């Protein structure tokens, strides 16, 4: 099954391929920017983004949104994580929030042309004292998952087995396999 993915992020594509290995799903990247609603509510954002993506491509499509929820800020920034991150970046983020409890969430929306489906994965963690590891994949360098003393960026391929994206894609994979 071919599924359009609206990302040009090579790191994300590699992760998606890893999670869906053996299912027969082939992701076709369409490097296009879908204008996202600016809302705290990630589910409203995802539903809107999925509708726009399907209207544009008119083929099975998958969209994803990753968000951070800081306990110290009453779960802000949520759906506004991308803007928040672009504004303060890794060093300032750690300066402001080091040691803070944080939830990382990945929400997936999939439209097969008839119906929309949603899958959510979460990981709990703490903000690092300072950015550690590769900074190429946004906030991986500041998120220390519970039970670990390294950031996602430092964990390398081990991250693939514990991340919030894995939890969401485990659900999606089960869904795809149930269609067979």
Q: Could you tell me which residue, 7 or 51, shows the higher pLDDT?
A: 51
| Cα 116 from chain centre | 18
% residues pLDDT > 70 (the chain): 100
pLDDT on residue 31: 81
Kindly state the average pLDDT of the residues 10-26. 90
User: Angle at Cα 121 formed by Cα 120 and Cα 123, nearest 5°?
Assistant: 150
- What residues have CB less than 8 Å from 153, skipping those under 6 apart? 131, 132, 133, 134, 135, 137, 140, 141, 159
CB 3 within 8 A of CB 28: yes
pLDDT on residue 120: 98
pTM of the predicted model as reported, rounded to 2 decimal places: 0.91
For 80-96, what is each residue's pLDDT tens digit?
A: 999 999 999 999 999 99
pLDDT on residue 167: 97
CATH 3.20.20.450 given to domain 2-178: no
Domain residues of the chain, as ranges?
2-178
User: What sign for the dihedral angle of Cα 171, 175, 176, 178?
Assistant: positive
Q: How many CB atoms lie within 10 A of CB 121?
A: 20
For 92-151, what is each residue's pLDDT tens digit?
A: 999 999 999 999 999 999 999 999 999 999 999 999 999 999 988 889 999 999 999 999
pLDDT on residue 103: 98
Task: Please report which confidence band the pLDDT of residue 168 belongs to, taking 50, 70 and 90 as the band edges.
Answer: very high
> Is a pLDDT exceeding 90 seen at residue 34?
no
- What residues have CB less than 8 Å from 3, skipping those under 6 apart? 25, 26, 27, 28, 60, 61, 62, 110
- Beta strand 101-111 with 116-127: parallel, antiparallel or unpaired? antiparallel
């Amino acid at each position: 099954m071919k599924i359009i993915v609206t990302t040009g992020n090579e790191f994300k594509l590699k992760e998606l391929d890893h999670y869906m290995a053996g299912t027969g799903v082939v992701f076709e990247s369409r490097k296009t920017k879908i204008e996202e609603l600016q809302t705290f509510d990630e589910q409203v954002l995802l539903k809107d983004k999925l509708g726009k993506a399907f209207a544009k491509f008119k083929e099975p499509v998958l969209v994803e949104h990753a968000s951070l929820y800081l306990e110290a800020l009453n779960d802000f920034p949520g759906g506004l994580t991308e803007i928040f991150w672009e504004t303060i970046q890794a060093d300032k983020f750690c300066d402001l929030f080091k040691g803070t409890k944080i939830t990382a969430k990945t929400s997936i929306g999939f439209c097969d042309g008839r119906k929309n489906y949603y899958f959510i994965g979460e990981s709990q963690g703490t903000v690092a004292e300072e950015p550690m590891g590769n900074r190429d994949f946004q906030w991986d360098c500041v998120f220390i998952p519970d039970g670990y003393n390294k950031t996602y960026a430092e964990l390398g391929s081990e991250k693939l087995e514990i991340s919030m994206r894995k939890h969401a894609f485990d659900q999606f994979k089960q869904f795809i396999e149930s269609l067979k």
